[in-house]
Amino acid sequence: MSYVDGFLVAVPAANKELYRKHAQDAWPMFAEFGVSRLVEGWGDDVPDGKVTDFKRAVELKPDEVALFSWFEHSSKEARDAANEKMMADPRMHEMGQMPFDGMRMVYGGFSVMLDEGPGGKMGHIDGYVLAVPKANKEAYRDMAMKAAPVFLDHGATRVVETWEDDVKDGKVTDFRRAVQATKDEAIVFSWVEWPSKQAREAGWPKLMEDERMKYDPATMPFDGQRMIYGTFSPIVDEALKSPQRKSA
């Protein structure tokens, strides 16, 4: 896996099963197009932020839940080919009304720059979106490469970091507005996979106490105040086979 389509979605809580079924039923068609994995993460602990948060990113209404979702692709070429097939296939237009407001969906394409861990059974997700100065790409990658083994040591099964490649402005919402990105910043879409919510809750305090996770705020390669984050429970997790690991 070297390319990701990332999505943030607001779904009425009452439509959870309808949304899950809609995504599940669409999976065979997406797989036919070449998507190697589809994950839909339903908001579990999505906190309010002082500056930015997932709720503002999708203009969440009181009766809605935020989702953190993604498609995995073997390459950018495979992703572009899949998108062409989706646009041309009449079945995409026969799927009926979406169980959410598509105008507020946030989406974009990202190149994988770090993919660590064996993966396997996933029961919980930490999802992140942040803005990183383009000049700090290598500094951010270095920080992520140091942090990934710490997550894995404390129970996580996979850590993925992706860098903006095809992120367009939207009419209502988009990734750049979600994290108040400036022109000289790139969007990072990243996540941590855990085998269960319980494993995540057990590992997180140890992670925060680990000396390897101590950073000097003055040397952070991005503005943490604008990072949006939350935890999500996978309601759909489909793959053609075990995801291929590849770091750019």
Task: Name the pLDDT band for 92 (thresholds 50, 70, 90).
Answer: confident
Question: How many CA atoms within 13 Å lie on the side-chain side of 135?
Answer: 3
Q: What is the pLDDT of residue 215?
A: 87
Predicted confidence (pLDDT) per residue in 27-45, tens digit: 999 999 999 999 999 999 9
**d(C-alpha 235, C-alpha 248), whole Å:** 29
> CB-based contacts of 50: which residues, under 8 Å, 6+ apart?
225
CB 144 within 8 A of CB 34: no
- Strand-strand pairing, 37-45 and 64-73: antiparallel
Q: Express each pLDDT in 129-178 by its tens digit.
A: 999 999 999 999 999 999 999 999 999 999 999 999 999 999 999 999 99
Sign for the CA dihedral angle at 72, 169, 65, 98 comes to negative
Q: How confident is the model at residue 79 (pLDDT cuts 50, 70, 90)?
A: very high
Are 11 and 59 contacting, i.e. CB atoms less than 8 angstroms apart? no
Q: Which residue, among 232, 156, 234, 147, has the nearest Cα to 199 in the 3D structure? A: 156
**pLDDT band at residue 96, thresholds of 50, 70 and 90?**
confident
Instruction: Domains for the chain: give ranges and CATH numbers.
Output: 3-239 (3.30.70.100)
Each residue of 101-121: pLDDT tens digit? 999 999 999 999 999 999 988
pLDDT digits (tens, 9 = 90+) for 174-224: 999 999 999 999 999 999 999 999 999 999 999 999 999 998 888 999 999
What Cα–Cα distance (Å) separates residue 70 from each residue in 40, 57, 83, 109, 164?
A: 7, 16, 14, 10, 14
